[in-house]
Amino acid sequence: MSFPVKDITTKPFEGQKPGTSGLRKRVKVFQQEHYTENFVQSIFDSIDAKGQTLVIGGDGRYFSPEAVQIILKIGSANGVSKFIVGKDGILSTPAASNVIRKYKAYGGILLTASHNPGGPDNDFGIKYNVSNGGPAPENVTDKIFAKTKTISTYKVIEAPAVDLSKIGETTYGPSKVSIIDSVTDYVILLEGIFDFPLIKQFLLEHSQDFKVLFDGLHGVTGPYARAIFIEKFGLSESSIQNCVALPDFGGGHPDPNLTYAHTLVDAVEKNNVAFGAASDGDGDRNMIYGKNAFVTPSDSVAIIAHWADTIPYFKKEGVKGLARSMPTSKAIDLVAKKKKLEYFEVPTGWKFFGNLMDAGRLSICGEESFGTGSDHIREKDGLWAVVAWLNILAAANKNSPNKLIGINDLLQEFYSIYGRSFFSRYDYEEVPSDGANKLVAHINEALTSGSLNNTVHTSASTSTKFTISNLYNFEYKDPIDHSVSKNQGQVITFSDGSRVVFRLSGTGSQGATVRMYVERYLGPEAGKDALSKSASEGLKSLIEVALEVSKLKEFLGRDEPTVIT
Ligand code: VG1
Ligand code: CO
């Protein structure tokens, strides 16, 4: 059978600019005639995938099956020789990164809008990853965006739809399509990193006093969690919930934080769960939350780094360096200093870690936005972080026969060694762009004129005084390829070492989202009482000052943030 290639005439759409992590828009936008096709063709116009292998995966959200067929048609017409596709189009983001690396693919297209809600009235997303398994760097995404602005035709082959539910290899026009199990390779990967037998034994011994609960929030991790928690660790069905992946995530917001993962929070409190965890829609985020113990992502990555030598992968490979995104708290820097490791501060977005990892200078990194990971792949990895914590707890308990060590014990011990970086993020979602721009302009004005430098600000409720020491726009020069990324967030520093950051989100699908990040550090000498306070108590006065200095409420017309994490 021959499969003719057809050229279809089209016109550019506005706004097909990939954000922090791919192009994200409402499903209805992607469903417009030629919209998805234009973007996919623009990807192929920006790369050279002729004769190459391409991975296709995603979180299975609404509109994914249609999008997979569009990519197959356009990709094949553009000369891709082989597609590796997760069964039913499903591969979690970390699993896709692993598949790209393991099978030495040229790159991959991931269909996900991550933690954004799904369904016909919600979000869809398309992201391109390169051969190291990581999100395409800015020079590639800039090229894709430029192509979307001038596109006039796209190519398709005329072929019947591929059955995505059958594992195996088939011929598709001039190309081959290999449908693979979505879970197997990923589980093999984690088994090679962590001490599965140790974890299993620990969980078995403590089946009564150390209950585990993983909440998939109806995102893509459900089947992965089942394979790991039930099949590998031998836990019971009651240790996982919401683990059936649904195209609309059951109507929920698949974002693992204290606001949106309330199904986990409620169950942990009600059932005395010692170790709870959740992941987001596409499986790259995680939250660690046990009874009376919430681990901020900034602390989580620092604690994993502190305990790295209990994890077989790091025991073998060593820890080469540590890193965090700029707004993430500096807890991990303290670990790096103590362990005499190199450490880096990069802009928000996982794509900035990839070069450092490829150069062998970075092993463990994280973002405050519930993203944690390592150089085992080039995406953040939700289940990796969850299993890392179980590995660490199992190892810590091996040396503690008489007392069960839980999440809170690890937190308190960490604070007693390094001190504590109280951290919180306020999100003001879908505010008018005009107000957001005014806020940015207001801070920029202070930044250039220096009008706020050395000014003293007093918190209304606690009378604590804060002196502004500096304001700057964060700029990053990649140490490997020397590319420069400007305007990555406005930073206000205070004389006591506290810090407030303002940033506009690059993942929202409409309006503007303003993020305010606050951090205040107390050294170990502050003592146990001060260090074990809640973040909201520890940060109250700084937040008041940040709101006053930025005039945020005035510009955004919002009294309260949409989400506090
Ligand atoms: C947000 C987070 C950022 C993260 C990005 C993608 O970006 O702040 O840390 O890398 O989402 O995460 P922004 O630009 O909205 O602040 V995910 O789980 O959507 O791939
Ligand atoms: Co995600």
pLDDT of residue 122: 94
Q: Are residues 214 and 96 in the same domain?
A: no
pLDDT of residue 127: 97
Closest atom of ligand 1 to CA, residue 506: 14
- Cα 455 to Cα 305, 370, 542: the distances in Å are 37, 33, 14
| Per-residue confidence band for 254, with pLDDT thresholds at 50, 70 and 90 | very high
Using left for φ > 0, alpha for ψ between -120 and 50, and beta otherwise, residue 117 falls in beta
Q: Are residues 314 and 452 in the same domain?
A: no
Q: How far is the CA of 464 from the centre of ligand 1 (A)?
A: 32
Q: What are phi and psi of 479, to 5 degrees?
A: -70, -15
Q: Are residues 95 and 210 in the same domain?
A: no
Distance (Å, whole) CA 100 – CA 95: 9
Q: Which of 364, 398, 418 is the last residue of a domain?
A: 418
Distance (Å, whole) CA 97 – CA 103: 10
Closest atom of ligand 1 to CA, residue 282: 18
Is the pLDDT at 348 greater than 90, yes or no? yes
In 3D space, the residue among 423, 424, 367, 369 whose CA is nearest the CA of residue 564 turns out to be 424
Q: Are residues 68 and 156 in the same domain?
A: yes
Least confident span in 159-173, 322-336, 464-478, 507-521: 507-521
| Per-residue confidence band for 259, with pLDDT thresholds at 50, 70 and 90 | confident
364 contacts: CB under 8 Å, gap ≥ 6? 301, 304, 305, 308, 314, 319, 322, 323, 332, 373, 374, 375
Only one residue has tokens 């937190």, namely 411
* Three-state DSSP state, 454: coil
pLDDT of residue 463: 85
Q: What are phi and psi of 125, to 5 degrees?
A: -155, 155
Is the pLDDT at 409 greater than 60, yes or no? yes
Residues forming the active site: 114
pLDDT of residue 255: 93
pLDDT of residue 305: 98
Q: How far is the CA of 20 from the centre of ligand 1 (A)?
A: 6
The DSSP secondary structure of 41-96, one letter per residue, reads HHHHHHS--TT-EEEEEE---TTHHHHHHHHHHHHHHTT--EEEEEGGG---HHHH
Mean pLDDT, residues 152-172 taken together:
95
Helices then strands, counting H and E runs in the chain, come out as 19, 27
Q: Is 78 in the pocket of ligand 1 (CB under 6 A)?
A: no
| Per-residue confidence band for 20, with pLDDT thresholds at 50, 70 and 90 | confident
Q: Based on the structure, what is the number of domains in the chain?
A: 3
Q: Is 348 in the pocket of ligand 1 (CB under 6 A)?
A: yes
Q: Which of 385, 418, 451 is the last residue of a domain?
A: 418
Q: Are residues 541 and 559 in the same domain?
A: yes
In 3D space, the residue among 59, 133, 459 whose CA is nearest the CA of residue 285 turns out to be 59
| Per-residue confidence band for 513, with pLDDT thresholds at 50, 70 and 90 | very high
Q: Are residues 91 and 154 in the same domain?
A: yes
Q: What single-letter DSSP state applies at residue 213?
A: E
For residue range 202-227, list pLDDT tens digits in order: 999 999 999 999 999 999 999 999 99
Is the pLDDT at 502 greater than 60, yes or no? yes
- Cα 208 to Cα 183, 197, 202: the distances in Å are 29, 19, 11
Residue 183 CA neighbour count, 13 Å, CB half:
13
Q: Are residues 368 and 453 in the same domain?
A: no
Q: Cβ distance 330 to 311 under 8 Å?
A: no
Q: Is 83 in the pocket of ligand 1 (CB under 6 A)?
A: no
Mean pLDDT, residues 100-108 taken together:
98
Distance (Å, whole) CA 298 – CA 535: 12
Burial class (CB in 10 A: 0-12, 13-18, 19+), 33: exposed
Q: Which of 166, 182, 198 is the last residue of a domain?
A: 182
Mean pLDDT, residues 315-324 taken together:
96
In 3D space, the residue among 477, 486, 385, 379 whose CA is nearest the CA of residue 127 turns out to be 379
Q: What single-letter DSSP state applies at residue 227?
A: I
Q: How far is the CA of 219 from the centre of ligand 2 (A)?
A: 10
Q: Cβ distance 330 to 487 under 8 Å?
A: no
pLDDT of residue 509: 67
CATH code of the domain covering residue 438 = 3.30.310.50
Q: Are residues 174 and 190 in the same domain?
A: no
392 contacts: CB under 8 Å, gap ≥ 6? 303, 304, 307, 310, 311, 410
Closest atom of ligand 1 to CA, residue 281: 18
207 contacts: CB under 8 Å, gap ≥ 6? none
Q: How far is the CA of 248 from the centre of ligand 2 (A)?
A: 15
pLDDT of residue 274: 95
pLDDT of residue 532: 81
For residue range 382-396, list pLDDT tens digits in order: 999 999 999 999 999
| Per-residue confidence band for 460, with pLDDT thresholds at 50, 70 and 90 | confident
Q: Are residues 112 and 145 in the same domain?
A: yes
| Per-residue confidence band for 2, with pLDDT thresholds at 50, 70 and 90 | low
Q: Residue type at 244?
A: V
Average pLDDT value over all residues in the chain:
94
Q: Are residues 167 and 194 in the same domain?
A: no
Only one residue has tokens 């070492």, namely 497
Distance (Å, whole) CA 512 – CA 436: 7
CATH code of the domain covering residue 371 = 3.40.120.10
Q: Are residues 414 and 432 in the same domain?
A: no
Domain that holds residue 268: 186-418
Is the pLDDT at 358 greater than 90, yes or no? yes
Residue with the bigger pLDDT between 489 and 462: it is 489
513 contacts: CB under 8 Å, gap ≥ 6? 427, 428, 429, 430, 431, 504, 505, 507
Q: Are residues 28 and 92 in the same domain?
A: yes
Q: Is 430 in the pocket of ligand 1 (CB under 6 A)?
A: no
Q: Work out whether the CA dihedral 35, 37, 40, 44 comes out positive or negative.
A: negative
